Every structure is written in C-alpha cells, then in structure tokens.
Structure 1
Amino acid sequence: MSKKIFTKVLQVGIVVDDVEAFVKKYEEDYGIGPWEVKFYNKENTKVHQEEKQFSIKVGFANLENVQFELIEPQDETSVYAKFLRENGPGLHHIALDTNNHDEVCQEMEKRGVPVIHSGESQRGTFTYLDLRKELGFIGEIYK
C-alpha cells in the first residue's frame, strides 16, 4: 500500500446556474442547510498557469463534517463558467485534506496530474488538480 495522500473529504463543490434556486431545493427537499451566500471577485488566480480574474456567487452549508459549496459564475471567464457551458449544473470538484499541500502538488506533478486552477480563497491557498483520469473527479487541496 502506498502513502496516504488525502486524509479526508472537506467539501463537495457543485457548479449551478442559480444559487438561490439550488439553496431552496437543498433546504426544502433535502433538509441541507442553513446556507450562507456570498459574492467573490477573484483576483490573482491562475487557470492553466494563466492569470485570470472572475466573479462568482457562492453558497455554503455543512452536512456533518462535509461542506457543500454551490458556485454560480457571474461572468464567462472562470473555470466554473466553462464547466457550466460544457456540462450544465453538476459536481465540479471534491476538496480533500492533505498533510502537506506543497508535497502533494509536487507528487501530482511527478505523476503528470495537471493543475487546473490555483489562487487564494477564504481558506488560504487552493489548488485544483485534474484527477479525472486517475480518480474520476477534479480534486481541490488547500494550504
């Protein structure tokens, strides 16, 4: 067995076309909530190593020890807008905890796993790893 790279699931990130409508559905139909909705103007982020700025509306709610994040793009420049155009609303990423963000990034680089998106968030430095070929999803890790 190899070394444990990811230690737990932190968050499920879902791209949506209307945060308020999805919040209502999650609360009323599934009992998931309460929700906190915020707007973010993201700067100093990189998408495939290219600087990008974009805006998103985000809803956050916790279900036991996992956070749900509903992400509504507010412009056409983000990875979330691209995802929504290509796939419609749906699971975008799973955020995973690690013992060492930088070591995991180095290990993923050795394995040929590309970084899709990176920057700063309320949790600190974040990195989206394209784990779709290996694990079937985009992974997000924090520092």
Structure 2
Amino acid sequence: MDKQPLGTKIITQIGVIVRDIEAVSQAYADFLGVEKPAWFWTDAVDVAKTEYLGAPSPARAKLAFFDCGQLQLELIEPDEHPSTWRDFLEEKGEGMHHIAFVIEGMKEKIQLLEGRGMPLAQKGEYTGGRYAYMDATRDLKLWIELLENDK
C-alpha cells in the first residue's frame, strides 16, 4: 500500500457546511479576532462544469474563507440543488464536511481513491483549478476534497 497515496499528508482546508453563512462567518470572525470575509457564489454550471453523481448539476454554494496559517477554513452554504453539500445539510445538519489536499494528477488520484472504495461524488472547476469530492465516509468518516491548481 502506498505510504502517501495523494503525494502529501498536508491537510490544507477544512470545509464546514452552514445554513447561514453571514451569521456563521461573523461568529468565526469574532472567535478568531479577524475581519469577517466577504462571501461569494461558486460559478454557474456552464463555467464550473459541476457534476454530481456523474451528471451535470446546477448546484452552487456561497463560500467564505478564513486563512489560519497553513490551514484554511471554508464555510459553505449550499443552494437548493442536489450536491454533496445539500445532501450533507439535509442528512446531518451543519458541521464539518471535508478535509482537502492540494494534489497533482487529478484523474490518477481519483482512480486511486476509487480503487480504495472512495467513489467520486462531485467535481467541478474554479478559477485557477479544479476540485473533486471523494466519499471517504465509510473509512475516514468524512469527505476528501482534492484540489488541483493550474500551474
């Protein structure tokens, strides 16, 4: 078995699903003693090329980020469309959704994790890269997000 199948063991992000990004981002800002970051919408499906369970999806979310040293906290308020975010909110409520790793070789890493019983559930693009959510809930009890940034 590979010692580091992703090529890294550095967790770069923790994603938290929320119902009210304004309220929760203010609570984190107060707790951390920083300014509340502005939130923004993820891109629409025509730009993000979002896929959920293998099909195009119009799902979007409001995002807000807190940089906390080497680790980034991402707050996610999903819209009403089917997505890993919406499913999580409906099934579990608010809380920690994923940990993220910056990787190289997205297709290969997806295949590797799928071979380990962690299927791809959602993927898309963002300005400067792409992401994939792998369902690692059976073994790791949370989602794994793969982030591949353009060079």
Smaller-chain TM-score bracket: 0.7 to 0.9
Amino acid in the other structure paired with 2:38 = E
Change (3 A) 1:105 1:60: same
Percent identity between matched residues is 30
Which string of whole-angstrom CA distances, capped at 9 and with x for unpartnered residues, describes residues 81-125 of structure 1?
221111111111111123432221121122232101011123412
* Counterpart for residue 3 of structure 2: 3
RMSD: 1.9
Which string of whole-angstrom CA distances, capped at 9 and with x for unpartnered residues, describes residues 51-84 of structure 1?
1112211111100111111011132433212211
Conserved? CA contact 2:62–2:78, under 8 Å: yes
1:26 aligns with 2:31: no
State the SS of the aligned residue for 1:134: coil
- Structure 2 residue runs of 5 or longer lacking an equivalent are none
State the SS of the aligned residue for 1:85: helix
* Counterpart for residue 134 of structure 2: 129
1:108 aligns with 2:113: yes
Amino acid in the other structure paired with 1:105 = I
TM-score by length of 2: 0.84
Partner of residue 35 from structure 1, selected from 30, 37, 41: 37
Large movers: runs of 4+ above 6 Å? none
5-14 or 71-80: which moved more? 71-80
Q: How many residues align?
A: 143
Amino acid in the other structure paired with 2:59 = F
d(CA) in 1 for partners of 2:139, 2:87: 22
d(CA) in 1 for partners of 2:34, 2:98: 19
- Structure 1 residue runs of 5 or longer lacking an equivalent are none
